[in-house]
Amino acid sequence: MNVLSSNPAARAAVRQGVSVSVATGLYGISFGALSVAAGVGLGPTMALSLLMFSGGSQFALVGVIGAAGTPVAAVATAALLGLRNTLYGAVVSPLLQVRGWRRLAAAHLTIDESTAVAVAQPGPAASRIGFWVTGIGVFVLWNAFVLLGALAGDALGDPRAWGLDAAAAAAFLALVWPRLAPRSAQLVAGLAVVATTALIPFVPPGIPVLAAAAVAVVVGLVTPTAPGTVVEPEKESVP
Amino acid sequence: MTTTALWATVLVASLACYALKLGGHLIPRTWLASERVSRATTLVTVALLVSLVVVQGFADGSALTVDARVPALVVAALALALRAPFILVVVLAAATAAGLRALGWG
């Protein structure tokens, strides 16, 4: 990687990748502690972090299990949350141009953070560096800190006393915050709040999230205007 | 949930999530040319994350509650509005909830 010493764009991609990796990795402490507290043991918690490796899906699955949800609801929620990684894969695949085992590895490392850093770079070479540095960095640090959180979680006692449940809520808020600029996103966010709040008392855990996703699919498919050119979502298209 | 069911849930969900990631890498570029498909996927992400904020911030089992998580979310929102970095937002929310609970509320 001699390109790193001579190319400012590559160095910037590395810097961004490392800082995102550290910030995201540290958050693994919350997941490790919450997962163990939800009744998911150390082994399954680490299996989730190593094999699923998608923060939103991991938190969602553990949340459904912790709320005594069914396995089907847990799998469905995790998979639906993982659906955005399909889009990310389609976006980064042309940038990476990899085949064989590297493509399998790239797929595993395709998450919010690696995609975000990759697409933010000025050229394909920096994008590739940003993707791999972020993907590998988050993978290593996330799993290390999940292990730490899972082990320390037992010693810490109730994670609520440390505010870790609020930390998870805040993390989801931080993830969605930059996506709320378009009017269509604000509309969907409002509908998601209403649907979730209305359903929580009446349906099994996990279902409110799926219902909110279904509302978004309907809005996305029936709204005729193109992304980026949205001025005002069509009111009559919303149930 | 039994240990076997838990492991099965973890492994099946992990396999599903990996298949979704790999599927994206194998999709021909033209497939996502549809604006509606890409718009729906973008909006689903927003809906899922917002719904998770509500569930994680206001649900206690099948009850809706207001406890220390709510002021923590307000603090997080203020920090986000001030462009605080991700990790600071999370730490501030945790500290707010932990502090309020240490004082005996929520």
Maximum mean pLDDT: which of A29-38, A166-175, A201-210, A221-230:
A29-38
State pLDDT tens for residues A67-96. 888 999 999 989 988 887 887 898 889 889
Q: Which residues of A148-176 are buried (b: 16+ CB within 10 A; e: fewer)?
A: ebbeebeebeebbebbbbbbbbbbbbbbb
Q: How far is CA A143 from the centre of its chain?
A: 15
Q: What pLDDT is stored for residue A236 in this prediction?
A: 36
d(CA A44, CA A208): 25
Domain ranges in chain B are: 1-33
- Residue A5: pLDDT band (50, 70, 90) is low
Q: What pLDDT is stored for residue A194 in this prediction?
A: 97
In this predicted complex, what is the ipTM? 0.83
Closest residue in chain B to residue A198, using alpha carbons only = B64
| Residue with the larger pLDDT of the pair A205 and A228 | A205
Q: Would an 8 Å CB–CB cutoff place B24 in contact with chain A?
A: yes
Give B-chain residues touching A89 at CB under 8 angstroms: 21-27
Q: What pLDDT is stored for residue A229 in this prediction?
A: 44
SS3 B81: helix
Q: Would an 8 Å CB–CB cutoff place A52 in contact with chain B?
A: yes
pLDDT over 50 at B96, yes or no: yes
Q: What pLDDT is stored for residue A119 in this prediction?
A: 80
pLDDT over 50 at A132, yes or no: yes
Beta carbons of B97 and A165 less than 8 Å apart: yes
